[in-house]
Amino acid sequence: MFFYTSLIILSSFVCKQVSAYTFIGCTDTFNFKPQPNDTAVHYAGGTSSGCASYCATFDKAYFYNQYNTGKCYCSNASPKPSQYTYSSSELGGCEGDNYEIYAMKDPIKSAKLEGCFASITTTTQYSSNNVKSVESCFSSCPTSKSILFFPNSDTNSFDCKCDSNSIIDTSNGGMATCGQYTWFAYSRTSQSPNKRSNEKRRFPKQIAFNKDEEEENCEEESAK
């Protein structure tokens, strides 16, 4: 079953490698304090790629990157709902001296952030309003094509939903700046290009998650 919505998110058909890290939110200098087992501060030039390259040598699950100062921390500390602050847009990114938070291990790193939304409707495979961490939400959705989490500081837990479809109904809310009390929507899809192409023609106002389509295009380009 497919859902109508007021927005299209279509990934560009550009050949690119799957990222080794995935954006999961922002925190600020008040809410983020390096933990005893975190690496000492490293100055990575403010780029997420520089911070990721540095932290990959320490086998940590997350890194916290501060764009303004270039500070980079590698950590196994998963962000708590109360630590979240608002991003710079509905597609992620952090403002000022806030820290970008990225996941470097599965089940999160292979998923793709499609955007943040005020409300969503799913044909739910799994749903909980009392998940303690982002990775617990993703672990609860091992075969789902869509994974969504909602940082809820009122309960100090995450709401979590998984969907077997790669199309989510957002007609009641539309996109919203990523942060507390918004749904972070991620894709993990496996549909064939022909089927996906037909769906986009039939339902022009859907959110379509197209990660696999990009990868298949990459394979076709490599074969030429």
Question: For residue range 123-168, what is the model confidence (pLDDT) as tens digits?
Answer: 677 888 889 999 999 999 898 999 999 999 999 999 999 988 877 7
- pTM here is 0.75
- If asked whether residues 116 and 204 sit together in one domain, one would say yes
Residue 180, φ and ψ in degrees, nearest 5: -60, 145
Chain-wide mean pLDDT for the chain? 76
- If asked whether residues 50 and 132 sit together in one domain, one would say no
Tell whether the torsion through CA atoms of 163, 168, 170 and 176 is positive or negative.
positive
φ/ψ region of 43 (left if φ > 0, alpha if ψ in -120 to 50, else beta) reads beta
Helix 193-202 to helix 211-223 angle (10° resolution) is: 130
5 lies in some domain: no
- If asked whether residues 30 and 75 sit together in one domain, one would say yes
Q: What pLDDT does 122 receive?
A: 76
Q: What pLDDT does 116 receive?
A: 94
| Measured distance CA(77)–CA(35) in Å, rounded | 7
Given 77, 103, 129, the domain boundary residue is 103
Q: What pLDDT does 151 receive?
A: 95
| Measured distance CA(11)–CA(134) in Å, rounded | 24
144 lies in some domain: yes
Q: What is the dihedral of CA 69, 40, 27, 144, to 10 degrees?
A: 120
- If asked whether residues 117 and 217 sit together in one domain, one would say yes
Higher pLDDT, 214 or 88: 88
Across 150-164, 170-184, 206-220, the highest mean pLDDT is recorded for 150-164
Domain limits for position 175:
112-223
User: Residue 94 pLDDT more than 80?
Assistant: yes
Q: What pLDDT does 90 receive?
A: 93
Given 103, 120, 136, the domain boundary residue is 103
Q: Are the CB atoms for 157 and 191 separated by under 8 Å?
A: no
Given 103, 123, 150, the domain boundary residue is 103
10 lies in some domain: no
Q: In the predicted model, what is the mean pLDDT of residues 44-52?
A: 88
User: Residue 191 pLDDT more than 60?
Assistant: no
User: Residue 213 pLDDT more than 60?
Assistant: no
Q: What pLDDT does 215 receive?
A: 45
Lowest pLDDT segment from 75-89, 95-109, 120-134: 120-134
Higher pLDDT, 195 or 215: 215
159 lies in some domain: yes
- If asked whether residues 90 and 134 sit together in one domain, one would say no
